[in-house]
Amino acid sequence: MLLAKIISTGNLKIVFWLTYNLLLRLPNFCLLVIFMIVVIASDITYNLEPFAKKLAVSLGAVYRALSDDFLLKNTGFFEEQKQGKIVLIGQAIASKLKVPALKIYLKESEEAIIARLSKEKKLSLEQAKTKHQELLKIEKEKINKLYGIDLNNLEIYDLIMRIDNLDQKAIISIIEKFIVKSTH
């Protein structure tokens, strides 16, 4: 009961620390699954869904492709989840989620974003830069209008990773190590 209250109101790192330390002190007590939410966010041009699915598999979690609106309006969704691990994506979710979650921001330099867009969309570097700036402006205005969120505010994240020179396998490995370190 105490643990449930801590989970519903506390910081994720504190929850895992307390859970771990309680397990050390209670003989014959086994916690099979810890309820954990991981929210991944990034620049709007980075397609997070394939990455989030791979991360979920790696963590033994479930990826939930739920819209920002659904999650933000249906806060009871998490109260129905009794156990397990969930991976979500989105800056609005990371900013507005009212339950404890591990929030991770994958950050690319503008040069890396432009190079990736140029390659993916077969655009010149100048066209990719213009496209990126247009998309970013539209997304920032939309998110600010709908949710009152400043996408430039990264203070809400537990981990901010520069991913310019990392493949998905390396990113997942770093996240796994961060989770292990944060929970012990």
What value does the mean pLDDT take over residues 79-91? 72
List pLDDT tens digits, range 163-179: 988 899 999 999 999 98
Domains, the chain, with CATH or none? 2-183 (3.40.50.300)
Query: Which one has a higher pLDDT value, 107 or 72?
Result: 107
Taking the model in full, what pTM does it have?
0.72
Contact 7, 71 (CB under 8 A): no
DSSP summary character for residue 161? E
Indicate if the pLDDT at residue 74 is higher than 80. no
Whole-number pLDDT of residue 127: 95
> What letters, b where the CB count within 10 A reaches 16 and e where it falls short, cover 16-39?
beebeeeeeeeeeeeeeebbbbbb
What value does the mean pLDDT take over residues 127-150? 88
Question: To 5 degrees, how large is the angle CA 65–CA 7–CA 16?
Answer: 90
59 CA to centre of own chain: 13
Indicate if the pLDDT at residue 180 is higher than 80. yes
